[in-house]
Structure 1
Amino acid sequence: MENNNNAFNKPPKNNKTKMFRFNLYWMYGIIFIMLAALYMTNDSSTRKEMGWTEFQKLANQNVFEKITVFNKKNTLEATIKKGQLGVVFKEDSALVGDSPMVFVKIPSADKFSDFYDKAVEKNNIDTSVSFEEGDDTFWNFFISFGPIILLVLVWIFLMKRMSGNAGGGAGGVFSVGKAKAQLFDKDNDKKVTFKDVAGLSEAKQEIEEIVAFLRNPEKYTELGGKIPKGALLVGPPGTGKTLLAKAVAGEANVPFFSLSGSDFVEMFVGVGASRVRDLFRQAKEKAPCIVFIDEIDAVGRARGKNANMNSNDERENTLNQLLTEMDGFGSNSGVIILAATNRADILDKALLRAGRFDRQIHVELPDLNERKEIFGVHLRPIKIDESVDAEFLARQTPGFSGADIANVCNEAALIAARGLKKFVQKEDFMNAVDRIVGGLEKRSKITTAEERRSIANHEAGHASISWLLEHANPLVKVTIVPRGKALGAAWYLPEERQITNKEQLLDEMCATLGGRAAEELFMGKISTGASNDLERVTKQAYAMVVYFGMSDKLPNLNYYDSTGQEWGFTKPYSEDTAKLIDSEVQNIINTEYARAKRILQENAEKHHQLANVLLEREVIYTEDVEHIFGKRPWISRSQEILDLQEKAAEDKPEPAANPDVQPEATETEQ
């Protein structure tokens, strides 16, 4: 379907003759020339030039107080004694300054010495004489005006850096207030469309309305409809918010202004607001178009909560101007604002009200089927063998974003290249996942036999309890090889739940405490190796009590403010309640720790077998744990969840054909 932008067609602008433009550097040049001329012409003392013969006559009359001879220039300067001005300047003596000078060209320094010796001997003159190599006019000029010139140069440099050459062309400091938005014109060959975006099916469906409006605005305006002025893309980092915004511009075939929220903020007061005005001015000239502001929380943070309290904050001025501009253009002007952030909770309420960013589009982490689709895209340029399965890789990467998956594929290719392989294999992808999650293996790190035994018991404790508890995440891999900052690590396959109940949280906490419990039971002492486990358990226990209302003594209470306004300088509960919270948290952790010790005592023999295998082989997998403990009776539940996800994807109806937009998912953001 052809683009129909007649509502926004404008008459072509007349090409005008390029007019004369003022350049700031010309002013600097004029000032420099004036300073040089002033230095050359201005002198507080009167200077009189005379001939060598006349000078000899006056010198014999002892009228000079001091004579300075410049050897290289064959010149001399002489100061006149007080009371002798009339002899030298005659009737002009009343017009000279306080320290008049006489300038004389001499034959040579030797000739002057001979003359002076004879004059002293014959006339007994008492004029003092000094000899110098010569006066450097340029050096004197530099000493006089060097600091001024240096200040001017530093000022020019700072102005150029702070202006960032914004707005293009000459102007220097005068372009500080220009918007630094990057323009992707509709005629650009490197367009991004929905074909370049894998996954994000719900987000793409929600944003199709904006694309349809930009392609065919009359379809909506004829019925009196109004398109939202702004849409806010909210989601974790790496999920494709920026790519999705570019795809909207590519699908709509309109200009696309892209800039970051931090581009508005400078050290100059008022620059942010000026750049906002300039941005919207350019957008109106290019309408219909899209303005995309990435990381808008840099300027859109809630007002009145900054560290400088009541002082005049440049960020707030910029936000105020942004709010004004979003209300300043008509609903059908063809300018749509897209913004992206992963901190929507801290944005100002006025920014999210109806009429501004009145639509929030959530760009979530991809689920199993979307990860499979994303892997399919990133595996295309990679040489893989038959052992690589996109569905298997998708199941091994729960919680990974599109950017993380792209990183996994790239890392696997690098690992295979280091191993001199011709193809990237399944093992390379698993090593890539391990490296991204846990860090690089450090087999050269020296550990004693006792430390290795302690690490093996610790990791075997995690593996044993997670295998024996119903709601704990199923085990994938356990290793005692140091990786990153950890001396050992265990990988699990968490279920992709929509909600989590109390029993599931307690089972996860019990499995996390299994390492410390195994150390105390089977080693007779505890170590610092469980510090990360204790940190996670403590945060989870506090969340259960303070946020989820899962405490027996503090049921159905939530002390979290989801609006982002927080509670100021005081806690939303009393000191007695704080003590009760601490007590409940301690009780939950102690209960689960005792439970972990009890489970390990009941399965001590199997735990020892697992620890010994881990000591011997350093790495064990699900099959090894299953061989010792037997099959998990709850494995069918995890499989059921995966089957339900696949069935939901298969039964999902195809989106209705839109005459304006026909997206096709094939690629994701890297």
Structure 2
Amino acid sequence: MAEIDKNRKETPPPPNNPFMGASKKTDKKNPKGPKFNAYWVYGLIALVFIGVQYFISSTSGPVETNWSEVKSTMLANNDIERIVVVNEKNANIYLKKNSLEKYKQQFEEHFAKPSDAGPHFTFTIGSVETFERNLREAQEGSSEEILPEYKEERNWAGELIWTIGPFVLIILLWLWIFRRMSRGAGGGAGGIFNVGKSQAKVFDKDQKVTTTFKDVAGLAEAKQEVEEIVEFLKQPAKFTKLGGKIPKGALLVGPPGTGKTLLARAVAGEASVPFFSMSGSDFVEMFVGVGASRVRDLFKQAKEKAPCIIFIDEIDAIGRARGKNPNFGSNDERENTLNQLLTEMDGFDTNSGVIILAATNRADILDRALMRAGRFDRQIHVELPDLKERGEIFKVHLRPLKLGEDVKVEFLSKQTPGFSGADIANVCNEAALIAARRNRDAVTKQDFLDAVDRIIGGLEKKNKIISKEEKKTIAYHEAGHATISWLLEYAHPLVKVTIVPRGKALGAAWYLPEERSITTKEQLLDEMCSALGGRAAEELIFKRVSSGAQNDLEKVTKQAYAMVSYFGMSEKVGNVSYYDSSGQSDYSFTKPYSEKTAELIDEEVKKIIDSQYQRAKKVLTENAEGHKKLAEKLLEREVIFSEDLELIFGKRHWEQKLIENENDQEKPVQKEEQAAEPVNNTTENKENQAISV
């Protein structure tokens, strides 16, 4: 399934000066003026406090002094007019007007300018009795005795701040925390009290989606299903005159990257009705009851704007089968949300004109009540694209690229079996990056082949330190895979073998697997034998085995168990299958077979693997000379192709038949083979195609 060709839709900006302003039309819609920000208010309050503090500190006030200075200078020179004791703690000194000039320099040193009325100086007296005794002793013999005055003053502002300030601070902190929580929970402008509202994005005539069905390549059947829903919304009379009703819902099911969300975006772009889009995880919240509340609010908004479409992406986040969650017996929020969703989709109250679209790649775990007709009337399977569909997808993603003359869409589609639309988009992008890295003027065929190698096998590591002995072991290992796959009829056609480290693999044999809908027992056994060729080669040549075959053994074991317990390909076990394709298995804690049957399955699996291992050793023994030549050439050149195997072993007897079926004379390149568990798909997954050390 192809992704949207964004570069084709968006016109590139004109080559203007980046520092120039926007057009007049843009200025009218999006003025360049600054937007209001709530933090400006906080900044303004801080500036006011700073200004008030500066103003208070710069106003007139008494200068700090001490009793010694008062006694030796002010009282001695008879400069004091009166002394006021405030709250029995501080003594404020008021000077005579004709004595102010004497202390002008002292005021300037303390950056203070007391008023002419005073007080001019202040100091702490200690106890009142001691102050009075010292004052009397200092004025003995003086003609003008000054008696202290006592005054009580209260700082109402300070007391008020200390009384109610903490409570105000706590309330402000509480509001700030809940505001932040509501933002994180998607509470919207209403704050924490709006957390139960729907988080769906609404696309209507004001916010129209530009994606159309023309941007969706491949999957004609799936497009036809959703196009019919859009046509029903546009021309309902065409269907209602025959007595038909609009489908209540459609569920898009398929592997990741096949374009389920892209189809939904195309529906939003084509339908001339409001489109509500949200993810299944948007209903899940830390607060109890929020999910159900959001479901109610979503359908309430949808009914007000009917006819409309609701799209829920990754619905398995809330649609998991009830009773099969780890919260045994607890009040699960997901189950409450699902119950509300089931009621809203098809409950006592009808939702006329509201169509539900949903997408998931885990349809096997969805609740049965959610899957029934009346809720999701249609299940649209969006599978991996076949050969023709991959060509259509490549045409979409190749449009923005500057291609070389040797790039052919048909060739690229044949080199990417099992690739999804997202994978193909990644191949095109990687090819463009590789071509730019090599300073080329156009993207060539080799750039695409290298991009496929990069995506499947990983980054090439030519500088990885490998000893000669290890390199020789890897060469014979990979040569074993290549030899057996070339000599067995049903093994995948070999393309190339390399011992250059790539990703986590130290070497790999690359194949181009056939695109087949069913797989026979003979084909599975040939693939298993080819996968065991590396371990067999190590044992025959070096008389020892290494850990390099771990990946091969893992895949072979899975494949053997699938043959016995899934596909019924064992005579002793019989035509039984213990695979639950629905995902609604009731065997949560126990196996669906007895211990005796389990032992029999293990015996049959070991028998199949051992027989194919002995077969691999036999093939390598009979072709020991060719195997050795292939390994030596691999050590010399590090990479060899199918032409080199043809020179050593000759043409395959069934090769002409394959060429006639493919009807392509170009050398196929780039597809790793991996003996993975056969799951009876039309194409083999690209991740299951590397036999590596």
Task: Give the TM-score, by structure 2 length.
Answer: 0.73
Asked if the contact 2:209/2:269 (under 8 Å) is kept, the reply is no
The aligned counterpart of 2:263 is 244
SS for the counterpart of 1:171 is: helix
Structure 2 residue runs of 5 or longer lacking an equivalent are 1-37, 43-83, 90-117, 137-154, 665-693
What's the offset of the Cα at 1:562?
2.0
Asked if the contact 2:88/2:127 (under 8 Å) is kept, the reply is no
User: Which of 563, 568, 585 is matched with 2:605 structurally?
Assistant: 585
CA 1:436 to 1:118, structure 2 compared with 1: closer, same or farther past 3 Å? closer
The alignment status of 1:545 with 2:555, answered yes or no, reads no
The alignment status of 1:159 with 2:172, answered yes or no, reads no
The alignment status of 1:288 with 2:307, answered yes or no, reads yes
User: Which of 230, 240, 246 is matched with 1:227 structurally?
Assistant: 246
Asked if the contact 1:258/1:292 (under 8 Å) is kept, the reply is yes
Asked if the contact 1:227/1:331 (under 8 Å) is kept, the reply is no
Deviations 1:643-668 (A, max 9, x none): 69xxxxxxxxxxxxxxxxxxxxxxxx
Aligned pairs (5 A) from 1:481-500:
481-500=500-519
The aligned counterpart of 1:665 is none
What's the offset of the Cα at 1:140?
4.9
What's the offset of the Cα at 1:283?
1.5
Asked if the contact 2:394/2:413 (under 8 Å) is kept, the reply is yes
The alignment status of 1:635 with 2:648, answered yes or no, reads no
Asked if the contact 2:253/2:361 (under 8 Å) is kept, the reply is yes
Q: Partner amino acid for 2:607? A: N
What's the offset of the Cα at 1:563?
2.2
The aligned counterpart of 2:339 is 320
The alignment status of 1:428 with 2:447, answered yes or no, reads yes
SS for the counterpart of 1:560 is: coil
The aligned counterpart of 1:596 is 616
Asked if the contact 1:246/1:256 (under 8 Å) is kept, the reply is no
The alignment status of 1:116 with 2:136, answered yes or no, reads no
Deviations 1:517-559 (A, max 9, x none): 1111112211111111111111111111111111121010111
Aligned pairs (5 A) from 1:506-545:
506-545=525-564
The aligned counterpart of 1:399 is 418
CA 1:111 to 1:444, structure 2 compared with 1: closer, same or farther past 3 Å? closer
Following TM superposition, the consecutive aligned residue runs of length 4 or more in structure 1 with deviations greater than 3 angstroms are 73-78, 105-111, 113-116, 118-123, 134-147, 186-190, 328-332, 636-644
User: Which of 631, 645, 652 is matched with 1:625 structurally?
Assistant: 645
Aligned pairs (5 A) from 1:330-349:
333-349=352-368
Asked if the contact 1:162/1:176 (under 8 Å) is kept, the reply is no
Asked if the contact 1:179/1:278 (under 8 Å) is kept, the reply is yes
CA 1:109 to 1:340, structure 2 compared with 1: closer, same or farther past 3 Å? same
SS for the counterpart of 2:434 is: helix
SS for the counterpart of 1:491 is: strand
The aligned counterpart of 2:625 is 605
Asked if the contact 2:393/2:421 (under 8 Å) is kept, the reply is yes
Task: Please give the alpha-carbon distance, in whole angstroms, between the structure 1 residues aligned to 2:535 and 2:120.
Answer: 100
Q: Partner amino acid for 1:494? A: P
Asked if the contact 2:179/2:192 (under 8 Å) is kept, the reply is no
Task: Please give the alpha-carbon distance, in whole angstroms, between the structure 2 residues aligned to 1:288 and 1:144.
Answer: 54
What's the offset of the Cα at 1:189?
5.2
Task: Please give the alpha-carbon distance, in whole angstroms, between the structure 2 residues aligned to 1:557 and 1:575.
Answer: 16
Asked if the contact 1:375/1:390 (under 8 Å) is kept, the reply is yes
SS for the counterpart of 2:310 is: strand
Task: Please give the alpha-carbon distance, in whole angstroms, between the structure 2 residues aligned to 1:199 and 1:248.
Answer: 16
SS for the counterpart of 1:259 is: strand
CA 1:612 to 1:281, structure 2 compared with 1: closer, same or farther past 3 Å? same
The aligned counterpart of 1:573 is 593
What's the offset of the Cα at 1:155?
3.1
What's the offset of the Cα at 1:225?
1.2
CA 1:138 to 1:585, structure 2 compared with 1: closer, same or farther past 3 Å? farther
What's the offset of the Cα at 1:631?
1.8
SS for the counterpart of 1:369 is: helix
Asked if the contact 1:163/1:175 (under 8 Å) is kept, the reply is no
SS for the counterpart of 2:222 is: helix
Asked if the contact 1:106/1:112 (under 8 Å) is kept, the reply is no
The aligned counterpart of 1:453 is 472
Q: Partner amino acid for 1:160? A: S
Q: Partner amino acid for 1:290? A: I
Asked if the contact 1:227/1:332 (under 8 Å) is kept, the reply is no
User: Which of 433, 438, 443 is matched with 2:462 structurally?
Assistant: 443
The aligned counterpart of 1:202 is 221
Task: Please give the alpha-carbon distance, in whole angstroms, between the structure 1 residues aligned to 2:494 and 2:202.
Answer: 49
Deviates more, 1:515-524 or 1:200-209: 200-209
What's the offset of the Cα at 1:186?
4.0
User: Which of 401, 404, 407 is matched with 1:388 structurally?
Assistant: 407
Asked if the contact 1:260/1:295 (under 8 Å) is kept, the reply is yes
What's the offset of the Cα at 1:485?
0.7
What's the offset of the Cα at 1:208?
2.9
Task: Please give the alpha-carbon distance, in whole angstroms, between the structure 1 residues aligned to 2:336 and 2:351.
Answer: 27
SS for the counterpart of 2:502 is: coil
Task: Please give the alpha-carbon distance, in whole angstroms, between the structure 1 residues aligned to 2:406 and 2:168.
Answer: 73
Task: Please give the alpha-carbon distance, in whole angstroms, between the structure 1 residues aligned to 2:388 and 2:430.
Answer: 22
CA 1:640 to 1:319, structure 2 compared with 1: closer, same or farther past 3 Å? farther
Deviations 1:7-33 (A, max 9, x none): xxxxxxxxxxxxxxxxxx9xxx9xxxx
The aligned counterpart of 1:371 is 390
Deviations 1:158-197 (A, max 9, x none): 432343243xxx3101221111111222454542111111
What's the offset of the Cα at 1:642?
4.0
What's the offset of the Cα at 1:420?
0.8
The aligned counterpart of 1:48 is none
The aligned counterpart of 1:50 is none
Task: Please give the alpha-carbon distance, in whole angstroms, between the structure 2 residues aligned to 1:447 and 1:114.
Answer: 89
Task: Please give the alpha-carbon distance, in whole angstroms, between the structure 2 residues aligned to 1:137 and 1:489.
Answer: 81
Task: Please give the alpha-carbon distance, in whole angstroms, between the structure 2 residues aligned to 1:635 and 1:331.
Answer: 62
SS for the counterpart of 2:326 is: coil
Task: Please give the alpha-carbon distance, in whole angstroms, between the structure 2 residues aligned to 1:448 and 1:570.
Answer: 48
CA 1:608 to 1:194, structure 2 compared with 1: closer, same or farther past 3 Å? same
Alignment: residue pair count: 536
Query: Please, what is the CA RMSD of the aligned residues?
Result: 2.8
Deviations 1:125-172 (A, max 9, x none): xxxxxxxxx997699569954883575156324432343243xxx310
Aligned pairs (5 A) from 1:83-232:
110=123, 112-113=125-126, 116-117=129-130, 119=132, 140=162, 144-145=166-167, 148-149=170-171, 152-153=174-175, 155-166=177-188, 170-186=189-205, 188=207, 190-232=209-251
Asked if the contact 1:229/1:331 (under 8 Å) is kept, the reply is no
The aligned counterpart of 2:373 is 354
Task: Please give the alpha-carbon distance, in whole angstroms, between the structure 2 residues aligned to 1:331 and 1:321.
Answer: 14
Asked if the contact 2:187/2:197 (under 8 Å) is kept, the reply is no
CA 1:609 to 1:111, structure 2 compared with 1: closer, same or farther past 3 Å? closer
Q: Partner amino acid for 2:210? A: K
Task: Please give the alpha-carbon distance, in whole angstroms, between the structure 1 residues aligned to 2:530 and 2:509.
Answer: 11
What's the offset of the Cα at 1:118?
5.2
Task: Please give the alpha-carbon distance, in whole angstroms, between the structure 2 residues aligned to 1:425 and 1:576.
Answer: 59
User: Which of 303, 328, 336 is matched with 1:309 structurally?
Assistant: 328
Task: Please give the alpha-carbon distance, in whole angstroms, between the structure 1 residues aligned to 2:404 and 2:204.
Answer: 41
What's the offset of the Cα at 1:392?
1.0
Task: Please give the alpha-carbon distance, in whole angstroms, between the structure 2 residues aligned to 1:110 and 1:159.
Answer: 51
What's the offset of the Cα at 1:295?
0.6
CA 1:478 to 1:136, structure 2 compared with 1: closer, same or farther past 3 Å? farther
CA 1:118 to 1:416, structure 2 compared with 1: closer, same or farther past 3 Å? closer
Q: Partner amino acid for 1:587? A: K
Asked if the contact 1:231/1:338 (under 8 Å) is kept, the reply is yes
The aligned counterpart of 1:89 is none
Deviations 1:302-343 (A, max 9, x none): 000000011111101111111111114887822111111111
